[in-house]
């Protein structure tokens, strides 16, 4: 299991190569503590095992009356050391900058929260393995991940099973926090212990709901009149395609749904195409956009969500005259606040020798927000339920991404996006948009 060394006073240097082998010493046992205020739960998901639960409905009572609401259960870390895990799976564009931004935030804030020493551990396996490693550590108090839109659907149930706060820096997938007619049962069906612990997943990045509004607004600005919408069949793709369809229709754009086929797009008479797809469908997006542009309608405007923001997609269209527009959460340099430049951008460049990737600022804020919550929790920073409760209680927090609050679903109140367009085989950022709430 690759881990970082503990981040303590004698080890405050920034490290580019943080993953080092660690030991698997004996785990401390969880301790029981008084319950904290209950969190929104919803409908229970299928049960998995948990290690410590307090106040669960007794079986006999449950048989007679049932358990209609979340129980007062809690998991508490013993000792004076707390661990924050970060998921850094291979092959995710910009992931190293996100991880480095998280390290920077921890270094700036210090290595302690009250009487607790903080350790930071990065995990470089696939997302589900990373999450399982985190919950096997009785010292874990928070998990930062995942990075690719939609990947959190495979990990939030794992962390929820042990009441471990999960904060994603960059996963915008709608169904993780909100219901969608395109994804049956979401988000409740992602949770393993929703009835026991309530929601334990949150994000500092705007969701796909806000991204869909930004997309529809940009389509209207670019003069789109008839939109063809297709998706890759993933929960992420279906949900954002549905949201874009609804918002575009509300904005007066005629919307047609269909398969991801160049001939179907051409037959529809649409002047724009939106393809909702996860990162795993980038090859399909390249084929679809290329075929539409070259063989069917080179004047067709092409729109893609943040999961498809990649150099490979852009380069595949380099020899064409494709009008491609891609949205991504973030900021243009000119739209960053003075505080963001002073606290994050300049220190990042000084520490790592290059400008941060667009997504890195959300990694910085994910860590900063978790650290603020741990410090506010004080002597209860080792109580996982308290940590989750306090994160969901964030209100009007000033930060490098702006002043925001976290709602009961785990979503942020701000929606900064950047649109990029294809210029000679490269996606070039050109417009900053604050999506409407």
The CATH number linked to 32 is 3.40.50.2300
Residue 358 and residue 270 share a domain: no
- Indicate the average pLDDT of the chain: 87
Q: Which of 74-78, 123-127, 367-371, 388-392 has the lowest mean pLDDT?
A: 74-78
| Tally of structural domains, the chain | 2
Q: Are 71 and 335 in contact (CB under 8 A)?
A: no
Residue 186 and residue 108 share a domain: yes
pLDDT per position as a tens digit, 268-291:
999 999 999 999 999 999 999 999
Strand partners, 86: 122, 144
> Is the bond preceding residue 79 a cis peptide, omega within 30 degrees?
no
pLDDT mean over 387-410: 98
Residue 107 and residue 18 share a domain: yes
Q: Which of 103-112, 299-308, 311-320, 336-345 has the lowest mean pLDDT?
A: 311-320
In whole angstroms, how large is the CA radius of gyration of the chain? 22
Residue 318 and residue 188 share a domain: no
269 conformational bin, left if phi > 0, alpha if psi -120 to 50, beta if neither: left
**Residue the block writes with tokens 């999506």:** 435
The number of CA neighbours under 13 Å toward the Cβ of 30 is 23
* CA distances from residue 14 to 96, 100, 122, 326 in whole angstroms, order as listed: 13, 8, 13, 33
Residue 177 and residue 108 share a domain: yes
Q: What is the spatial distance between Cα 352 and Cα 19, in angstroms, rounded to a whole number? A: 17
Residue 46 and residue 192 share a domain: yes
Residue 364 and residue 308 share a domain: no
Residue 149 and residue 245 share a domain: no
Q: What is the spatial distance between Cα 201 and Cα 186, in angstroms, rounded to a whole number? A: 13
Residue 125 and residue 184 share a domain: yes
Q: What is the pTM of this model?
A: 0.85
Q: Are 306 and 211 in contact (CB under 8 A)?
A: yes
Strands 226-231 and 254-257: parallel
**Residue the block writes with tokens 């398969």:** 259
Longest CA span, the chain: 69
- Tell me which of 5 and 84 has the higher pLDDT: 84
First CA to last CA across the chain, in angstroms? 41
Residue 216 and residue 127 share a domain: no
User: If you ran DSSP here, which 8-state letter would residue 169 be given?
Assistant: S
Residue 191 and residue 224 share a domain: no
Q: Are 242 and 180 in contact (CB under 8 A)?
A: yes
pLDDT mean over 61-77: 51
Give the pLDDT of residue 73.
Answer: 61
Is pLDDT above 60 for 8? no
**Residue the block writes with tokens 């609401």:** 69
Residue 212 and residue 196 share a domain: no
Is pLDDT above 60 for 415? yes
Q: What is the spatial distance between Cα 83 and Cα 133, in angstroms, rounded to a whole number? A: 12
Q: Are 201 and 392 in contact (CB under 8 A)?
A: no
**Exposed, middle or buried: residue 64 (CB in 10 Å: 0-12, 13-18, 19+)?**
exposed
Q: What is the spatial distance between Cα 401 and Cα 366, in angstroms, rounded to a whole number? A: 10
What range does the domain containing 114 cover?
A: 2-205+338-411
């Amino acid at each position: 299991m690759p881990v970082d060394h503990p981040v303590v006073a004698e080890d405050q240097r920034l490290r580019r190569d943080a993953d080092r082998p660690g030991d698997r010493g004996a785990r401390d046992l969880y301790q029981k503590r008084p319950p904290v205020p209950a969190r929104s739960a919803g409908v229970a998901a299928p049960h998995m095992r948990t290690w410590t639960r307090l106040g669960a409905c007794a079986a006999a009572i449950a048989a007679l009356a049932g358990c209609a609401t979340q129980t007062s259960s809690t998991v508490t870390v013993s000792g004076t050391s707390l661990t924050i895990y970060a998921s850094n799976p291979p092959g995710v564009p910009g992931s190293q900058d996100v991880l480095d931004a998280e390290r920077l935030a921890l270094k700036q804030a210090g290595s302690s929260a009250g009487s607790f020493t903080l350790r930071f551990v990065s995990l470089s396996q696939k997302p589900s393995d990373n999450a399982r490693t985190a919950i096997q550590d009785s010292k874990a108090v928070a998990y930062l991940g995942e990075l690719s839109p939609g990947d959190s659907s495979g990990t939030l149930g794992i962390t929820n099973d042990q009441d471990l706060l999960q904060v994603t820096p960059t996963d915008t997938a709608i169904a993780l926090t909100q219901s969608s007619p395109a994804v049956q049962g979401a988000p409740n069906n992602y949770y393993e212990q929703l009835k026991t612990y309530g929601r334990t997943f949150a994000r500092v990045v705007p969701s796909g709901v806000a991204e869909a509004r930004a997309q529809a607004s940009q389509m209207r600005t670019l003069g789109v009149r008839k939109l063809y919408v297709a998706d890759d069949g993933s929960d992420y793709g279906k949900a954002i395609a549905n949201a874009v369809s609804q918002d575009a229709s509300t904005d007066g754009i005629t919307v047609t749904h269909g398969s991801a086929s160049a001939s179907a797009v051409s037959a529809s008479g649409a002047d724009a195409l939106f393809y909702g797809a996860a990162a795993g469908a980038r090859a399909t997006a390249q084929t679809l956009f290329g075929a539409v542009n070259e063989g069917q309608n080179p004047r067709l405007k092409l729109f893609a969500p943040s999961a498809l923001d990649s150099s490979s997609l852009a380069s595949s269209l380099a020899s064409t005259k494709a009008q491609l527009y891609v949205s991504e959460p973030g900021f243009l340099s000119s739209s960053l606040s003075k505080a963001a430049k002073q606290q994050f951008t300049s220190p990042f460049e000084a520490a790592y020798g290059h400008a941060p990737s667009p997504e890195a600022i959300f990694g910085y804020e994910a860590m900063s927000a978790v650290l603020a919550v741990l410090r506010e929790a004080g002597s209860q920073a080792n109580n996982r339920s308290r940590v989750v409760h306090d994160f969901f209680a964030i209100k009007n927090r000033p930060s490098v991404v702006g002043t925001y609050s976290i709602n009961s679903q785990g979503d942020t109140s701000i929606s900064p996006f950047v649109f990029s367009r294809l210029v000679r085989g490269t996606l070039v950022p050109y417009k900053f948009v604050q999506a409407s709430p």
